[in-house]
Amino acid sequence: MAVVLPVSVAWACVGLVVFKTTGSATVEPGGTVEVFGGEFASGEPVNVRLDSADGPVLATFPDPQPSTMTSRFTLDVPIPDDISPGEHLLVATQKHHDMNGGIPARAAIYVNAAEPSLPTPEERPTSIVASSGPGVGSLALVALGTAAVALLVAAAASAAARRSSPTPAEGGEA
């Protein structure tokens, strides 16, 4: 417990890095997409790379200000003319390894492709369907079980009462 509490408090102080597209994530080759970033460390630039943490740098945001826990930025990221159609990742990275810095963040973009639609959730019932109540046989078994348990409890209580009652002394007055 002495270790768990300080570690959990320290973890609670570390925010999550935010990185996402601000509008549509669909883009044409040679186009631009606007991204929003937040909670990056101040003092180091944020590089936006294509498809991996060590991919080509597409754009750089100079220095998220004012501080690590409140930094926010938007950036227009140019998409290469020769990019293949389909889903790609924009990966935001920093060369800073304290608190949130250095944690790669990802945002999906779709080049000449539509964003995948979210699956339609199953329809949930709005009321409880009860076709019938318990049958006579079920009720009889429950009643029989309850009676058996009550009989066992009564027998145990009777046996305990007999053991604890004093017995008359032999040869005593009648």
Q: Return the domain boundaries, the chain.
A: 4-111
Q: What confidence category does residue 170 fall into, taking pLDDT thresholds of 50, 70 and 90?
A: low
How far CA 112 is from CA of 31, 72, 93, 106, 151, in Å, comes to 11, 29, 25, 19, 77
- CATH superfamily ID and name for 4-111: chitin-binding protein cbp21 (2.70.50.50)
Please write the tens of the pLDDT for every residue from 68-94: 566 788 889 999 999 999 999 999 988
Q: Cα separation of 17 and 67, whole Å?
A: 13
CB 37 within 8 A of CB 46: yes
| Global pTM value | 0.58
Quote the Cα angle for 168-169-171, to 5°: 120
- The secondary structure of residue 85, as a DSSP letter, is S
Calpha distance 10→29 (Å, rounded): 43
